[in-house]
Structure 1
């Protein structure tokens, strides 16, 4: 009992220290959805646009959600041909001890036995196997300490800002039986902000969408048909036929430790629209950490995105010019124009009436009067169709597109009229102005 009390006191002290340090973020107001957690965020998985947030840039404990970074590095190693799914890895003594330690989430692994990368990966993603995660870190980087360096380097490369990875599994270092990675301390914890967890999920889904097939697997046997056969049950209770089943849910990762509380990074897709939500240290109505609440509150945030927002589509038909533009000094008076795709954007339903699009011509394609100037080549970009009157949006990464726009092209060629024709037109315009 003393050990548990010490952990909780240590965790509270570390959180307080981090909140006062420059490493911490600024606490923000309540979320639109009234989430009861230390931090939360809801993000459009296609655009990276933030839909709802609370205390999103405060680094907090993430527990086994750490494994999402391990997943990313394993999938990257597979993609680059560094390892293959069929490769086998012989379990080290460290992995054996931690994979069979009482009280830790695991698929039991035998000392000295070899397991395929695929087996270890599925055990990590579906069952949240800590030993399997550490084994994969050794397989990819040679040691968990070296792997941790890669985790932090990859976080920076992905655009994350508030993070600290200290092991590959998400365990508290003091639970690693004295075998925490070299270069880290016994009291170190994996710390990531809600926004950065959403960023990691966003990049994981974008770069390796196959991750969802595994993270969305409800049950699977480990080494089926052998004497090591073990039924793995996914820790994600939003999956189909589970306690908090949510339509379209297919990932990504839960996490639970005394330090981090109950955490969850979830995602769901409906009618081609996907959202990502992160809940850090969910609380019940009494302010106590709650395993169930992380799923209840994640579903609440996802509902907000799916029900309060609508996909709106805009084309040239929504402009005054429609699909043709007048051409100054051209052999033809106008040119047909087109876009390669419509503008599609998720907007709050109550904001749709105030929104719209406008055509903005490139300055080097227009004359002093702002009109399109001949000559115009077929297929040439002449401007952009731009969304207007949308409230300023926030995105999880600075590099993501902040203006909803698409390119506008000429559908045909309009050559410049000769001097005689242009002069005659100018005289005609002059006379029209004088005599009406």
Structure 2
């Protein structure tokens, strides 16, 4: 059974839209621009090229620690011991240190601020050793989380982001990391917008100067090594819509900010996103057999986000195909068919069509009558 819905949808496929200006030409080794809601790349250049992530690595370092806290294996108020190795990592990194003192204990919350705002290499190693016993073991946790997030071309070898042949990521993967961070830890993500942080009597500013240049920017992290160049993973939110950009391998700190802002401005100007369907926006109803209810609403349990050029006419068609009969009992979320989005006959995407409510087993007579009817259906 195939049904067509008249929904105000627009196309995801950029090649099907009316022409829009090309993305900015950036002097960077690679870049990617991601729509937060839909997860679609709006623009990219060499998005899967392996590059050194430099201190953007610390986003994953913070992510792993926050996940350990969420799982109840530690608390923000716990303290971590500063080893000589961690302390020396700070001494050897004059511009990227929290100034922790060897032999002391520092609260995890302070260390996270030291990683996020102060970009402390020393703080990163303290956290790694506290969580996993060694930086090498911590890197394994980082890679496990990277795989779970879907970072297919990423491998971490250390917590601060020091150059290493086995330490690499891509512009696309880093935007996925930024998205996962914001989705998983919305409260702690606010720390990435703090203008400065003071520890041990030393106040250091956030290196992400876009925070001052554009009030819509609220993160995420800068990075720089001689091998990686100047890099910036940024995110901004305007009118309830969020974009995430990763600009890698530029020649100066000033240009990485200019390039990131050009990319974000272009994405906000020429694209928009819409939240469609979801548990409160059913696609329709299907007949239920042998159930306590005669029909059930169908749709998607989560909103379907779609990204589109701004101002494009609503020409997308949504249709759904029921797969077999809906025979009770079944629970909300059970797949009953497939939802298809098309534009001018071209497939854009498909989504599972599921029951939006539980339907219990009907009474004896209802089941008997429907059994007979199904023989002739």
Mapped to 1, the partners of 2:71 and 2:42 lie a distance apart of 34
Higher relative contact order (CA 8 A, sep 6+): 2
Matches within 5 A, 1:284-433: 289-312=251-274, 339=299, 344-349=305-310, 351-364=312-325, 383=337, 386-389=340-343, 402-403=349-350, 407=354
> Unaligned stretches of 5+ in structure 1?
1-30, 173-186, 223-227, 283-288, 317-321, 328-333, 366-373, 394-401, 423-436
Of residues 184, 198, 208, the one that matches 1:236 is: 208
Matches within 5 A, 1:218-237: 218-222=195-199, 228-237=200-209
Q: What secondary structure sits across from 1:306 in the alignment? A: helix
Mapped to 2, the partners of 1:338 and 1:161 lie a distance apart of 33
Q: CA deviation at 1:349?
A: 2.9
Match of 1:136 in 2: 127
Q: CA deviation at 1:151?
A: 2.2
Match of 1:198 in 2: 175
Of residues 221, 238, 250, the one that matches 1:270 is: 238
Match of 2:194 in 1: 217
Is the aligned partner of 1:245 residue 2:222?
no
C-alpha contact (below 8 Å) 1:314/1:357 kept by paired residues: no
Aligned length: 341
Give TM-score scaled by structure 2 length: 0.76
Match of 2:54 in 1: 63
Mapped to 1, the partners of 2:145 and 2:138 lie a distance apart of 10
Of residues 89, 99, 104, the one that matches 2:95 is: 104
Q: What secondary structure sits across from 1:263 in the alignment? A: strand
Q: CA deviation at 1:195?
A: 1.4
Q: CA deviation at 1:66?
A: 0.8
Mapped to 2, the partners of 1:381 and 1:60 lie a distance apart of 41
Q: What is the alpha-carbon root mean square deviation over aligned residues? A: 3.9
> Unaligned stretches of 5+ in structure 2?
1-21, 288-293
Of residues 121, 124, 127, the one that matches 2:112 is: 121
C-alpha contact (below 8 Å) 2:113/2:191 kept by paired residues: yes
Identify if the C-alpha distance between structure 1 residues 102 and 44 changes in structure 2 by more than 3 Å, giving closer, same or farther. Answer: closer
Of residues 17, 22, 25, the one that matches 1:34 is: 25
C-alpha contact (below 8 Å) 2:320/2:353 kept by paired residues: no
